[in-house]
A and B are shown apart, each in its own frame.
Chain A
Amino acid sequence: MTAHASGDKRFKILEAHIKKFQARQDALIEVLHKAQELFGYLEDDLLLFVAHRLKLPPSRVYGVATFYHFFCLKPQGAHTCVVCLGTACYVKGSAKVLAAAEAAAGIKSGETTPDSQLSLLTARCIGACAIAPAVVYDGQVAAKQTPEMVLAQLEKWREPCKATT
């Protein structure tokens, strides 16, 4: 198995980072930091990936990830929007994309809307610089995002709830 089955480039970057630490078990916290930086939050999949790579029991990885307030496991929201603030994306205006999303959702990055519909997160270079600014919607990387596009996506997520209320 190389990188991750999903082919997500972020796993490759994480893999390289793990190699930098010679996959040392005591580098767990550093690796989790990098993982969160890349993905915005630590999903079960990601924790398992880290556990396998460092040859640690999943329970240990989960224990450490939940001990530190810094780490964010599954975001509370039904949907997640991760805006990349890495250099390439930033230069191409991802800060404006984030600001638009924050204004529309009425929350800051790292927060979840009170109705638990949306969690807004940021990441630092997700390995998609060629398509900057990149935003990850529910795990799907989207290319060349503008404030209008992020607003359209947030609106789309909102619709089904509108229909039910």
Chain B
Amino acid sequence: MAAKTLKIDGRQVSAAEDTTVLDAAAEAGIRIPTLCHLEGVYDAGACRLCLVEVAGTAKLLPACTTLVAEGMEVVTQSDRLRRYRRMTLELLLAERNHVCAVCVANGHCELQSLASEHGIDHVRYDYRFPRWGVDATHPRFGLDHNRCILCTRCVRVCWHIEGAGTKNVAGRGAKSFIIDDLNQPWGDSESCTSCGKCVLACPTGALFDRGSTVGEMERDRTKLEFIVNAREKKQWIVSE
């Protein structure tokens, strides 16, 4: 496979042609913030946190769905990008009801850690305070729509890794929400195998193990990575 050479943050990088900018950067030790990206699962470009600047294009491009190209010049850190990322995170926080103090994922939430990493101590937008419910019908897991950021990680692991296709997104825009089968109670779902991959994949406290209380929802993501590697790459490796 043809290799491409490009520059990321001034550094010379070479990567196979079907590599995403995100992976090429990671390979070079450059970390780009992400939320909807999940290693080994196809990318959706849903969160827009990984936006980078590419010389020659005025638009910002999502690193997770942009492939490397010969001579490409990528910038992953700039004032403009930091502004946008901060804005994206604030909008995510304002969209639903993220009350970290009472959240099962407090201290282990990717949204929370990205927010603190970006110095967000307050949100400049009006909170929308939508009324979303909690699905507590599954015997082992729960889904609190109030904390969902619609990253669709759960949808993608359920579809592509587990193969059950239980979860999907219904509706559009601010009214979209995660459903099980035909928008029925999760506990009534015929397709769900109760594998728990969606719970492992969720970056926030939206999906949780039942019975967990504040701050208890710490996920062992290596379990998910193990399965993903095995199914996608036929490699049974435990990452150190």
B-contacting residues of A (Cβ < 8 Å)? 44, 47-48, 56-63, 66-67
Partner of B170, one of A56, A57, A62: A62
Partner of A57, one of B164, B169, B171, B172: B164
- Among B164, B166, B167, B170, the most chain A Cβ lie within 10 Å of the Cβ of B170
List A contacts of B166 (CB < 8 A): 57, 59
Is B218 on the interface with A (CB-CB < 8 A)?
no
- Report the minimal beta-carbon distance from A54 to chain B, rounded to whole angstroms: 12
Inter-chain contact A63/B165, CB cutoff 8 Å: no
User: A57-B191, A59-B180 given. 19 additional CB < 8 A pairs?
Assistant: A56-B165, A57-B164, A57-B166, A57-B168, A58-B191, A59-B167, A59-B168, A59-B179, A59-B191, A60-B165, A61-B182, A62-B168, A62-B179, A62-B182, A62-B183, A63-B170, A66-B170, A67-B169, A67-B172
**Contact A44:B171 (CB < 8 A) given known A57-B191, A59-B165, A60-B165:** no
Inter-chain contact B171/A48, CB cutoff 8 Å: no
Cβ contacts A to B, 29 pairs, < 8 Å = A44-B182, A47-B182, A57-B159, A57-B164, A57-B165, A57-B168, A58-B181, A58-B182, A58-B191, A59-B165, A59-B166, A59-B168, A59-B179, A59-B180, A59-B181, A59-B182, A59-B191, A60-B165, A60-B168, A62-B168, A62-B179, A62-B181, A63-B169, A63-B170, A63-B179, A66-B171, A66-B172, A66-B183, A67-B169
Closest-by-CB residue of B relative to A61 is B182
List A contacts of B180 (CB < 8 A): 59
Dominant SS among interface residues on chain A: helix
Inter-chain contact A67/B165, CB cutoff 8 Å: no
Closest-by-CB residue of A relative to B190 is A58
**Contact A67:B171 (CB < 8 A) given known A57-B165, A57-B166, A58-B191:** yes
List A contacts of B164 (CB < 8 A): 57
Give B157-200 interface residues, CB cut-off 8 Å to A.
159, 164-172, 179-183, 191
Dominant SS among interface residues on chain B: loop
A-contacting residues of B (Cβ < 8 Å)? 159, 164-172, 179-183, 191
Whole-angstrom distance between the alpha carbons of A58 and B158 in the complex? 13
- Report the minimal beta-carbon distance from B145 to chain A, rounded to whole angstroms: 15
Whole-angstrom distance between the alpha carbons of A28 and B103 in the complex? 39
List B contacts of A63 (CB < 8 A): 168-170, 179
- Among A47, A61, A63, the most chain B Cβ lie within 10 Å of the Cβ of A63
List A contacts of B169 (CB < 8 A): 63, 67
Closest-by-CB residue of A relative to B175 is A66
Whole-angstrom distance between the alpha carbons of A63 and B179 in the complex? 8
Whole-angstrom distance between the alpha carbons of A108 and B1 in the complex? 60
List B contacts of A62 (CB < 8 A): 168, 170, 179, 181-183
- Report the minimal beta-carbon distance from A43 to chain B, rounded to whole angstroms: 10
List A contacts of B165 (CB < 8 A): 56-57, 59-60
